[in-house]
Amino acid sequence: MGFAIRLAVWLLPLRVALTDTGTTECSFAETAGKAVLIPSAYALKHCNHKVWSTVFERTLEVAKQPLEKTLEFRKIRTGRFMFPSSPKGPHLLLWHINLYSNDTASKELNEHFFTPFPDMLARFSKCDLKIFEPVVLFRAFAPRYFQYGHVMADLLPLVVWIYNHFESNDTKIVVEQDTDGRIESFMEWFDAKLHERMIYVPTDTVVCAESDLVVLDPAPRNHRPESLRIAEVHRNLRAQVALRAKSRSLDKVIAYQRLPGDTRTGRLIAKDQFGRLLDLTAEALRALQRPADDIVVFNGRVAGTSQSLGFEEQYRLFSSAFLAFGPHGSGMSNILWMQNADCQARPAVIEFMCSTDARSVRGCYVMEGLRKLTRIQSWWRLFAGAPWVRYFMVWMLHHDDHVSEVASVDEAGFNISLHAALKGAGPQMRRLQNFLV
């Protein structure tokens, strides 16, 4: 596939004029805005790179939006609500809420997030659940089952922000309960005090709020929840994450591997190529006089078993890493736990993104009518620039000519990204590895 060609070009992002989003010691432009895609000569020839420029610009445009112009709290005098399911099944991503109240304030809510009950019977039927405490209502962008990535990207940031905004323990936070019941256990693990203030409501449950009902209302220009992924919310989340017990040293390189049967969305890397990526990483570490056994393969399971790795174990693993790499997928959302010492001494992430050359790979495209559109997604985008890490992107390429679960990685682009990421193994990485000792 042309991987023998070692010529590679830095495809630098467009330099968008940015101002820091809020008061912070780190420049958003010099952290999140420094994310870079590094393609090989082969990838330059076979991929349309204009899509990356568009994604880059749009991500930073959304991320730097001021919070007060993106979201606001609306108080409603009692009412009833429901998280509706979809006749298309549990895999569809939903975010809208059925809401009814006599309060005129409810008529001014964003219609793309709040809709009337579908019929009069549901509006006036007996309540399935009554809540007598003041509540704040929020529905995350997610399927009905537990999906770790959407919990990390779309539930946790805004729930933590609500929690820190409403300090009274009397105010409850109402969210949707997944069919597996795992969101509840995740929130209890993440923060027991936050969990105590939450109420988890199943879909299609008519809930009557008998006291004050507060909703998180996006500004009218926001038609979809992707526009709510802003830097200020993630800064608040990172401050909450910093309260957790930390690793005493950062000494691991994490290689994320997606396994057949564990994912619904493809983007698998062939076993032989994954092995070559590990070899390249070991070689780069030895060049820096670091042991190759710093590398830990993470696939979401306890090593050598089919047992899922717990939330705490995933946190400990990623919070001890100075580098993580792998294809886009829920497992890579654990970069949220990675620790930075300051604005310069930050761990590194190399994420494999779908390219236009990977349109035959499941998980790399969406259908719009008869058109197949490339699905370009990364945790840099989902985490509003992820300014606590140094971000490198590498294209995924097609592996077979027919539709497949498997993608190839731009190996030459990865190798250059790897050495660029490990440049910090000098003074910068030593500061990073020792900042907690």
pLDDT digits (tens, 9 = 90+) for 145-181: 999 999 999 999 999 999 999 988 889 999 999 998 9
Q: What are phi and psi of 331, to 5 degrees?
A: -60, -30
Report the percentage of the chain scoring pLDDT > 70: 89
Q: Is the pLDDT of residue 421 over 50?
A: yes
What residues does 268 pair with on adjacent strands?
A: 406
Q: Give the integer Cα–Cα distance in Å for 234 and 30.
A: 17
The whole-number pLDDT of residue 25 equals 61
Read off the pLDDT of each residue in 306-314 and give the average, rounded to a whole number: 91
Q: What is the pTM of this model?
A: 0.88
Question: Cα 245 to chain center, whole Å?
Answer: 22
- The predicted-structure confidence for 81-122, as pLDDT tens digits, reads as follows 999 999 898 889 999 999 998 888 888 999 999 999 987 766
Which DSSP state fits 36? E
Note every long-range contact of 91-95, with CB atoms under 8 Å and residues 24 or more positions apart, other chains counting.
Answer: 91/143, 91/144, 91/145, 91/264, 92/143, 93/141, 93/142, 93/143, 93/150, 94/139, 94/141, 94/142, 94/143, 94/144, 95/139, 95/140, 95/141, 95/142, 95/224, 95/225
Q: Give the integer Cα–Cα distance in Å for 334 and 346.
A: 15
pLDDT: which is higher, 103 or 360:
103
The whole-number pLDDT of residue 124 equals 77
The whole-number pLDDT of residue 305 equals 79
- The predicted-structure confidence for 114-143, as pLDDT tens digits, reads as follows 999 987 766 778 899 999 999 999 999 999
The rounded mean pLDDT for the chain is 86
Report residue 404's pLDDT band, with 50, 70 and 90 as the boundaries. Answer: confident
Q: Give the integer Cα–Cα distance in Å for 271 and 273.
A: 6
Report the percentage of the chain scoring pLDDT > 90: 60
Report residue 424's pLDDT band, with 50, 70 and 90 as the boundaries. Answer: low
Q: Is the pLDDT of residue 260 over 90?
A: no
- The predicted-structure confidence for 79-92, as pLDDT tens digits, reads as follows 999 999 998 988 89
Q: Is the pLDDT of residue 37 over 60?
A: yes
- The predicted-structure confidence for 184-239, as pLDDT tens digits, reads as follows 999 999 999 999 999 999 999 999 999 999 999 999 999 999 999 999 999 999 99
Read off the pLDDT of each residue in 334-360 and give the average, rounded to a whole number: 90
The token duo for 334 is 């654990």
The token duo for 355 is 């390219």
Listed by start position, the domains of the chain span 28-66+242-434, 71-227
The whole-number pLDDT of residue 2 equals 39
The whole-number pLDDT of residue 17 equals 27
